[in-house]
Amino acid sequence: MKDAIAFMTWNRVVPWKILSLVAHPDEPLVPIGFGARYWDFYDQLEAGSQIWVVTRISNEFSLAGRVTVEKMLDRNDIPQEKWPPEAAGLFVKWRFVAVADPERSEFFETNNAEPVLAEHGIQFTQSRTVILRQASLEDDFKACIDQGRKIVFLSYRWKEGRRFAFALARELRRNGFSPWLDALSIPKYEASHEPGVDAPRLEKLIKLGIEQSKFAIAINTATYAQKYWTKMEFDHIRKSHIAWYQVMRGGIERDCDEVSILNRSAEEVVQEILQRRSQ
């Protein structure tokens, strides 16, 4: 049985998750499937095959999801009015769709997939985004899976805090954690799909990210407490009863159960948090 490694650009990860929320709004968030235009993708994968979807963030590869195939579908074989709901969103763009087995499929937050791709000598190109392999890759991706479940939620204002958020994310990944960084692609998605604050699917996605996290870090900048999205994140972090830490970067200090960290480097912030968590 063959597996596949597939590449997805980072700005498509949030829409992929939104499609999954739309298809199964009352179920746990897992991939609904994966689509491609290649005949080999449809012809050689089968029920039980796994598609390992990787993306690229800040010039580093990360495992974004695992799709365990339940069935393979060809859009040309199915009249549009009979498209199954779990495939309809993918059929809009792709002819061939691997419908996911929801019990054996999973999204992962940021991790380090570079060693796996290097070991297999994989290089993606614009015309080569799905690569088939003859055997299961589950053991190869085990470290990514483990890291991708050690989620840390980063709450920050896009305009003021994204540069420091990137630095924190790099340090967290170096220390074996998986920073929740969907917010890095949410602004573009929001602008083109769900303008304004009336974006219930994005809000649900963010809240799920918080609830799955081991702890949260709020980057408290000048307008952090004034904007809808960061206020919503802050309130949900408090309601979720997870440990959280605030890094003061020019904002007004909020009551914090754990610790407030003054304006320091990303490396120093992560080391202080890890030291406090080990006590």
> Which CATH number characterizes residue 108's domain?
3.10.400
* Average confidence (pLDDT) over 272-279: 86
Q: What is the pLDDT of residue 162?
A: 83
- 260 vs 49 pLDDT, higher one: 49
Of 111, 128, 143, which residue constitutes the final position of a domain?
A: 143
- Shared domain for 155 and 137, answered yes or no, is no
- Shared domain for 135 and 246, answered yes or no, is no
Q: In this structure, is the dihedral angle defined by the CA atoms of residues 111, 145, 61 and 157, taken in order, positive or negative?
A: negative
pLDDT greater than 70 at residue 110: yes
* Average confidence (pLDDT) over 96-106: 97
Q: What is the pLDDT of residue 15?
A: 86
- Shared domain for 194 and 116, answered yes or no, is no
Of 123, 143, 163, which residue constitutes the final position of a domain?
A: 143
Backbone angles phi, psi at 14, to 5 degrees: -60, -50
- Shared domain for 245 and 192, answered yes or no, is yes
Q: pLDDT tens digits, residue range 261-272? A: 666 889 999 998
- Shared domain for 239 and 137, answered yes or no, is no
pLDDT greater than 60 at residue 184: no
* Average confidence (pLDDT) over 88-106: 96
Q: What is the pLDDT of residue 186?
A: 57
- Shared domain for 172 and 81, answered yes or no, is no
Q: How far apart are CA 49 and CA 45, in angstroms?
A: 6
CATH of the domain at 164: 3.40.50.450
- Shared domain for 266 and 162, answered yes or no, is yes
Q: What is the pLDDT of residue 177?
A: 93
pLDDT greater than 60 at residue 242: yes
Q: What is the pLDDT of residue 158?
A: 82
Percentage above 70 pLDDT, the chain: 89
Contacts of 24 (CB under 8 A, 6+ apart): 30, 32, 86, 102
Percentage above 90 pLDDT, the chain: 53
- Shared domain for 133 and 241, answered yes or no, is no
- Shared domain for 63 and 107, answered yes or no, is yes
- 227 vs 94 pLDDT, higher one: 94
Q: What is the pLDDT of residue 191?
A: 44
Range of the domain at 44: 3-143
Q: What is the pLDDT of residue 178?
A: 92
- Shared domain for 174 and 91, answered yes or no, is no
Q: pLDDT tens digits, residue range 186-210? A: 545 554 454 444 478 788 888 999 9
Compute the mean pLDDT over every residue in the chain, rounded to the nearest whole number: 87
Beta strands in the chain (DSSP E): 3-7, 33-36, 50-57, 60-74, 96-100, 106-107, 130-133, 151-155, 178-180, 215-220, 243-248, 259-261
- Shared domain for 109 and 179, answered yes or no, is no
* Average confidence (pLDDT) over 1-27: 88
Q: What is the pLDDT of residue 240?
A: 92
- Shared domain for 131 and 154, answered yes or no, is no
The angle at the Cα of 201, spanning 199 to 204, to the nearest 5 degrees, equals 110
Of 143, 158, 174, which residue constitutes the final position of a domain?
A: 143
* Average confidence (pLDDT) over 92-104: 96
pLDDT band (50, 70, 90) for residue 76: very high
Q: pLDDT tens digits, residue range 23-69? A: 888 888 999 999 999 999 999 999 999 999 999 987 889 999 999 99
Domain count, the chain: 2
